[in-house]
Structure 1
């Protein structure tokens, strides 16, 4: 009989790799659905983590992906970049299925995220206070970790 389920049982090594990918990410591919259309769109965004290691970003209201997130907060993040050498498909990557939660400017959470974000992305000081920029926290619903050939895992929020 052939095995049709490609996923391995989640173990501590998979959980640690997923957490390392999230914490170490400086950017991610963000997949959204266009409002009123089932067509997906992908953008590259800067990424950081809050004080609970949840993914956050600073995004502009001028960006199409921001308008898409306001219409439908369901989205996905792809984290992990191939190295300079070797087959890109052998390098770890993590897809997070998330719900985007905009953080209100002027709230205490916004102020806390501003400090956290600048500590991780100091160059953002150039535009962090522009009126069209705001924070979004990505509430992870689940994830799929591909740690390389034969190392695929489905992850619950508790695993992350």
Structure 2
């Protein structure tokens, strides 16, 4: 059988970056006790366009996230009408990059996060919260029927 995934083209790169930029949440997959565990996380992008989330150390997914060398993130919303599987979605394999409160740049990145996710102001100062960048290692874009693409980190970076 032929590989249904094509190399990224400009349209695929643009759609992938749009899905990243518009994402307010995503489905994060980690390994917990050796088994897949999926949870919904709040999401935005950092100033360079990388996925960025705020997590609590009390959440069940945080320890596996911080221990992982790779995680997976699914982005994209089904439209109001039609088959949900015909709407674009992006799956990333990514490396978690924690940004701790004591790290240089935490305050600026936290301010950026709160500017994009204002409700986070209520809890971003709690001691158990930290920011985590998700650095893409690869991606798969399903842009609709017959529009499947393999993506590299360069394809997902700033235009």
1:5 aligns with 2:3: yes
* Distance in structure 2 (CA, Å) of the matches to 1:71 and 1:20: 29
Q: 1:108: how far off?
A: 2.5
Moved over 6 A (4+): none
Match of 2:28 in 1: 30
Structure 2: gaps of 5 or more residues:
none
Once the two structures are superposed, the pairs formed by residues 106-125 of structure 1 within 5 Å of their partners are 106-125=102-121
Q: How many residues are paired up?
A: 156
Conserved 8 A contact 1:73-1:101: no
Structure 1: gaps of 5 or more residues:
none
Q: 1:64: how far off?
A: 1.2
* 1:131 aligned to which of 114, 119, 127: 127
Q: Secondary structure at the match of 2:72?
A: strand
Match of 2:45 in 1: 49
* Distance in structure 2 (CA, Å) of the matches to 1:34 and 1:79: 21
* 2:141 aligned to which of 135, 138, 145: 145
* Distance in structure 1 (CA, Å) of the matches to 2:130 and 2:24: 17
Aligned-residue Cα RMSD (Å) equals 1.0
* 1:21 aligned to which of 16, 19, 22: 19
* Distance in structure 2 (CA, Å) of the matches to 1:74 and 1:7: 22
* Distance in structure 2 (CA, Å) of the matches to 1:73 and 1:55: 16
Q: 1:113: how far off?
A: 1.0
